[in-house]
Amino acid sequence: MPHPLRAKSGGRLILTVPLIVFMDDVSENISKQWNKHHVVYMLNTSIPRNMIEKEFCIHFVVSSPHAAPMELMKGVTDSICKAEKTGIITWDCQYEEEIMLIPYELFVAGDNPMHAKECSHAGLKTNHFCRRCKVGETQVEKKSDKGYQKLFQSGSPRLPQETIEEGLRQDSLSLESGGTDKVKKAATSTGIRDAASVSVVQHLLELGKQLRKHVPGKAALPEADVCKLTLNPLLGMPGMDIHQDTPTKILHTVLLGVAKYFWGQTVWLLDEAHLLTTFQRCLESINKDGLNYPTLGAEYICRFKGSLIGKHFKSLAQVMPYLIYNLVSSDVLDGWTVLGDLIVLLWHTRIDNTNEYLVRISMTKS
């Protein structure tokens, strides 16, 4: 039996186009004044890696200073789904014939706070603080020895359908008496809060308060106060599990996360021991020929030790064990050794295996 796509394409060659969708907030102004806009970009991951990072290969989709992130994403996902369903007829310059393209969303890129919104996650202060799995317990249990050890074990994975059901349950709670506290507790307990329906839930909570205070004999509230329920469009995106398809951002999670705070503690120990000048001399004298992208201006690093950025920590992590081996305790030295291994491993995995990862995911979803 002929494949249904053959009839749709009219016998043309069919190629799939995996897309990376990136969304974040940026400033429109060139000056230092922050003028927040949310933007969405797309990248075609079927082109070579040395081309995908060039500016002219990054496609601008939409930007707005007023629309919420998930409102923008709703329009983007609707467009992708429509194009995926109907296909796009175009001319292929290599084969010199018409072909049909079928785009689909491979994964969503962004920083961790934006990923939390895209996964309908309530953030790190909830009992279950991971957007990917259900690791965690109550705050009291997490502070216990047993509970703390469990934090280093993966929990059961989050499923889009379960997230949708919990979002709908919280919408229902907003209609009940004491809905504000009930919704807040539900979000803290489950780690789920749907960013797309937050405004709707707030409206329902206010509407419920007004209805419970309604005095008989007065006119009812106008129909304009009734709003339509919306949900996160990424939760039902075909071929994508938003909980799993939001890759961790190495820059903020590792370099500006663990490495930054461990650097701050190490510098404090060196300063307390009056060894910061010695550390600076060691940093000045170290051979930097074997480093990738060496950014190790010793005077700058020690002078602005609290204002370093990712490229500084990427370079420091490679050399710190050689600089502090006789300046700090063995625990701190071991910590930097493990951290250096982690950063090098993650960075080389990111660079060397990205294309392999994309191909593997593409084959899984095709």
pLDDT at residue number 218: 61
pLDDT tier, 206 (very low <50, low <70, confident <90, very high otherwise): confident
Q: What percent of the chain has pLDDT over 70?
A: 86
pLDDT at residue number 366: 43
Token readout for 185 is 């507790």
User: Residue 58 domain-assigned?
Assistant: yes
Last-in-domain residue among 110, 138, 164: 110
Give the distance, in angstroms, between the CA of residue 54 and the centroid of all CA atoms in the same chain. 22
pLDDT tier, 223 (very low <50, low <70, confident <90, very high otherwise): very low
| DSSP E strand stretches across the chain | 13-27, 36-44, 58-64, 88-92, 97-109
Distances from the Cα of 137 to the Cα of 13, 124, 140, 244, 345, angstroms: 52, 12, 8, 21, 30
Do 106 and 122 lie in one domain? The reply is no
Least confident window among 110-119, 333-342, 352-361: 352-361
User: Residue 209 domain-assigned?
Assistant: yes
Q: What is the pLDDT of residues 62-104, one digit of tens each?
A: 999 888 899 999 999 999 999 999 999 999 998 999 999 999 9
Least confident window among 118-127, 140-149, 217-226: 217-226
Q: What is the pLDDT of residues 239-254, one digit of tens each?
A: 889 999 998 888 888 8
Do 59 and 160 lie in one domain? The reply is no
Last-in-domain residue among 177, 211, 236: 236
For residues 301 and 308, give the distance between their C-alpha atoms in angstroms, rounded to a whole number.
Answer: 7
In whole numbers, what is the pLDDT of the chain averaged over residues?
Answer: 84
Residue 301 and residue 284 in contact, taking contact as beta carbons nearer than 8 Å: no
Do 264 and 333 lie in one domain? The reply is yes
Which sign does the torsion angle of CA 29, 234, 47, 101 carry? negative
For residues 113 and 24, give the distance between their C-alpha atoms in angstroms, rounded to a whole number.
Answer: 9
End-to-end CA distance of the chain: give it in Å, rounded: 20
Give the distance, in angstroms, between the CA of residue 290 and the centroid of all CA atoms in the same chain. 32
User: Residue 136 domain-assigned?
Assistant: yes
pLDDT tier, 230 (very low <50, low <70, confident <90, very high otherwise): confident
Of the two residues 345 and 33, the one the predictor is more confident about is 345
Query: The domain containing residue 299 runs over which residues?
Result: 250-354
Do 14 and 98 lie in one domain? The reply is yes
Do 41 and 99 lie in one domain? The reply is yes
Q: 353-362 long-range CB contacts below 8 Å, 24 or more apart?
A: 354/49, 355/49, 358/18, 358/45, 358/106, 361/18, 361/106, 361/107, 361/245, 362/16, 362/18, 362/45, 362/46, 362/106
Q: Average of pLDDT values for 349-359? A: 45
Q: What is the pLDDT of residues 322-332, one digit of tens each?
A: 999 999 999 99
Token readout for 284 is 């000045």
User: Residue 21 domain-assigned?
Assistant: yes
For residues 342 and 199, give the distance between their C-alpha atoms in angstroms, rounded to a whole number.
Answer: 40
Residue 338 burial by Cβ neighbours in a 10 Å radius (0-12, 13-18, 19+): exposed
Do 290 and 191 lie in one domain? The reply is no
Of the two residues 298 and 32, the one the predictor is more confident about is 298
Q: Average of pLDDT values for 158-172? A: 91
Residue 42 and residue 22 in contact, taking contact as beta carbons nearer than 8 Å: yes
Whether the per-residue pLDDT at 190 is higher than 90: the answer is yes
| DSSP E strand stretches across 168-292 | none
Which of 152-156, 196-200, 207-211, 284-288 is most confident? Answer: 152-156
For residues 157 and 244, give the distance between their C-alpha atoms in angstroms, rounded to a whole number.
Answer: 8
- Residue 187 is which amino acid? A
Whether the per-residue pLDDT at 290 is higher than 80: the answer is no
Identify which of 303, 293, 283 has the alpha carbon closest to the alpha carbon of residue 343: 293
Do 124 and 229 lie in one domain? The reply is yes
Do 231 and 271 lie in one domain? The reply is no
Token readout for 255 is 């370099």
Do 217 and 288 lie in one domain? The reply is no
User: Residue 334 domain-assigned?
Assistant: yes
Residue 237 and residue 77 in contact, taking contact as beta carbons nearer than 8 Å: yes
Q: Average of pLDDT values for 127-147? A: 91
The sheet with strand 97-109 has its strands ordered as 58-64, 36-44, 13-27, 97-109, 88-92
Whether the per-residue pLDDT at 231 is higher than 50: the answer is yes
| DSSP E strand stretches across 110-230 | none
For residues 37 and 48, give the distance between their C-alpha atoms in angstroms, rounded to a whole number.
Answer: 30
Residue 145 and residue 158 in contact, taking contact as beta carbons nearer than 8 Å: no
Residue 22 and residue 109 in contact, taking contact as beta carbons nearer than 8 Å: yes
Last-in-domain residue among 63, 80, 110: 110
Q: Average of pLDDT values for 292-300? A: 76
Do 19 and 96 lie in one domain? The reply is yes
User: Residue 359 domain-assigned?
Assistant: no
Counted domains in the chain: 3
Q: What is the pLDDT of residues 256-274, one digit of tens each?
A: 899 999 999 999 999 999 9
Write out the DSSP string of 342-360.
HHHHHHHHHHHSHHHHHHH
User: Residue 306 domain-assigned?
Assistant: yes
User: Residue 244 domain-assigned?
Assistant: no
Do 142 and 74 lie in one domain? The reply is no
Do 105 and 127 lie in one domain? The reply is no
Whether the per-residue pLDDT at 282 is higher than 70: the answer is yes
Q: Average of pLDDT values for 53-66? A: 89
